[in-house]
Structures are given as C-alpha cells and as structure tokens.
Amino acid sequence: MGPGRPRAFEIKQALEAAMEVFWQKGYEGASLSDLTEVMNINRSSFYSTFGSKEKLFQKVLELYLEEGPPHALVVALQESTAKEVVRKFLQASAEAATRPSYPPGCMTVIGAITCSDESSPVKLSLTEWRIQIEKELRVRLETAKKNGDLPEHTDPVALARYLATLSSGMSIQAVNGASREDLESVVAIAMSALSL
C-alpha cells in the first residue's frame, strides 16, 4: 500500500492564518467561515484535520505560546538580576503588543475577554497561561529576594501581580492604538516608580 494522499494545505501555515483571525476577533468572534476562508480549506477538510473550532484554537494557542510574542516573556525570567527581569518582562510585553507583523495586543488577553459560558474551556486555557506566567514571575522574584537581589520590604507576590497587570494593560492599550513608544514610556515610569 502506498503513502497516503498529501494534504492540500500546509498545517503550520493554516494554523498561522487561523491565529491571526483568533487574535483579531477573539475566540467567539472568529466564525468558521472566517477560519476556513483564511486557511484556504473547505469545512470537510477543516473537520477532518482539526475536529472542531475549539481543538483548532488549542493548536493555535500552542503555536502562539511556543513561537509567538509570549515566548519573550518567559525568556525575560532568565535575566541575572531582578531589575533586569522586571525591565525585560515589561519591554517584552510592550514589544509583543505592538509588533507590526501581528495584530495589536496579546491573543491570551484579547481571546479571553469576549468568551461566554459556552466557551469556558477556551477562556480557562487562556486564563491558565496568564496565571502560569505570573506564577513563574513570582517564583523568580521570590528567589531574587532570598538572594538579596530585591529590597527586604518587597512583596514578590504583589510585585508579580503588578507586573502581570501592567502587561495585560499594555495589551489593551495597544488595541486602543498605543504605539511601542507609548508603551515604552509606561515601562520607564514603572521602572522609576519601583526603584529596584
């Protein structure tokens, strides 16, 4: 028996195309027609390849987190000092929200804002990722405090929540039209206010 018939489309290209639709319109705003049109496939191919819109979104989310802008947030946690972790985390948030080659904002923020009860599994996936990055940030800051790299009065839990809040807020501001320079000024004020 010979090899199976090759797919008429490239999976990764299809996922990248779908990512842009989900990013711009959110999970619920992205219709099946929007997705199949941009992915250049028919509904039959869509269902046989991805199973459902929710399963497609989960694959898109994996691609987004592994190769998209959020990857820089994780990399920022590896900086050698707490001050640089905070600076790089906020700068990565500003850059990720305003990349010219992507829609404005963060897909994990935009995608979850408009989810209804019927889409709670999607909302949960997006929320879990945001909670996870905040947790990783908190752990890194707790380590920094133990090592004397943060002032004694610093609360790593509150600081991680503050930084996660700024990151999500910058995403919303980017959707509102804020530029990279606008968000960099937010980073500068935060760094000055924190006095790390």
Domain ranges of the chain: 11-64, 69-194
pLDDT of 105: 92
Query: Largest alpha-carbon pair distance within the chain?
Result: 70
pTM of the model: 0.85
Tell me the average pLDDT across 169-177. Answer: 95
CATH homologous superfamily of 69-194 equals: Tetracycline Repressor, domain 2 (1.10.357.10)
Q: Which fold has domain 11-64?
A: Arc Repressor Mutant, subunit A (1.10.10)
For residue 96, give Cα distances in angstroms to 62, 138, 145.
16, 21, 28
Structure tokens at 131: 């909670």
Structure tokens at 192: 């000055």
**CB neighbours (10 Å) of residue 41?**
20
pLDDT tens per residue, range 27-61: 888 999 999 999 999 999 999 999 999 999 999 99
Q: By the 8 A CB rule, do 42 and 9 touch? A: no
Check whether 90 has a pLDDT greater than 80: yes
pLDDT class of 9 with cuts at 50, 70, 90: low
Tell me the average pLDDT across 156-164. Answer: 97
